[in-house]
C-alpha cells in the first residue's frame, strides 16, 4: 500500500513539473498576443507557393513587425523586406526603395505572374509599396498595420492600387 502511495506521489509531482515547465515565464503582452493570432491566421506559405525554396526564405519573415527603414527580421519596411528576401535566397541586391525596385527586372503582366515576382502598388503613377507574389492570387509584403503578412491581390485596399509586376529571376 505504501509503495502504491509513493508511486502516486511521484506521478503527481512529475506531472506538475512537466506542466509548469511548459508555462511561459512571463505573461504575453496584448500586442504580442494580437500579432501571434494574426500571424497564425496567415496561410501556410507551403500551401500557397508549393515551392520549398521560396517557403524556406519567406515563411520565417511572417509576423516581422513593420519598421520604416528596417531591413531585417527584427523590423522591416516593404522594400527592406523584398531586398532582404532576394539577398537571402538568390544573393541578389535590389535597390533600396520600392520606386527604384519597380525599374529592376523585366515587366510581367498580372495574368502571367509567377512565384517570386515583385509586385508594385501606388497612386497617381507613383510606386510606394512592393511585395512578392506567392501564387494563388496572393502576395507577401510588409504592411504598416500588420507587419509581414500574406494578402490577396483582390483585397479591396490593394486591388485599385496595383501598378504592375517585375520578374527578377
Of 45, 48, 78, 140, which one is the catalytic site residue? 78
DSSP state of 105: S
Task: State the chain's maximal CA–CA distance in angstroms.
Answer: 84
Would you call 22 a catalytic residue per the annotation? Answer: no
Specify the DSSP element, H or E, that contains 164.
Answer: strand 162-167
Return the CA Rg of the chain: 22
Is residue 129 part of the annotated active site? The answer reads yes
Handedness of CA 139, 141, 146, 147 (dihedral sign): positive
- Which one of 129, 133, 143, 146 is the catalytic residue? 129
Task: List the catalytic residue out of 116, 118, 119, 141.
Answer: 141
First to last CA, the chain: 73
Question: Annotated active-site positions, please?
Answer: 78, 129, 141
Amino acid at each position: 500500500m505504501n509503495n502504491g502511495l509513493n508511486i502516486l506521489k511521484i506521478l503527481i509531482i512529475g506531472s506538475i513539473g512537466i506542466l509548469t515547465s511548459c508555462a511561459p515565464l512571463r505573461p504575453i503582452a496584448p500586442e504580442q498576443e494580437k500579432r501571434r493570432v494574426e500571424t497564425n491566421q496567415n496561410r501556410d506559405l507551403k500551401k500557397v507557393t508549393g515551392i520549398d525554396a521560396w517557403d524556406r526564405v519567406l515563411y520565417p519573415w511572417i509576423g516581422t513587425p513593420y519598421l520604416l527603414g528596417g531591413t531585417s527580421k527584427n523590423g522591416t519596411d516593404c522594400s527592406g523586406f523584398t531586398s532582404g528576401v532576394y539577398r537571402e535566397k538568390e544573393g541578389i541586391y535590389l535597390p533600396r526603395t520600392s520606386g527604384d525596385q519597380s525599374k529592376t527586372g523585366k515587366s510581367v503582366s498580372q495574368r502571367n505572374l509567377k512565384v517570386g515576382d515583385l509586385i508594385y502598388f501606388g497612386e497617381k503613377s507613383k510606386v510606394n509599396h512592393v511585395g512578392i507574389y506567392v501564387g494563388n492570387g496572393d502576395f507577401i509584403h510588409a504592411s504598416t498595420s500588420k507587419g509581414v503578412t500574406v494578402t490577396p491581390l483582390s483585397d479591396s485596399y490593394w486591388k485599385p492600387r496595383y501598378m504592375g509586376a517585375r520578374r527578377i529571376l
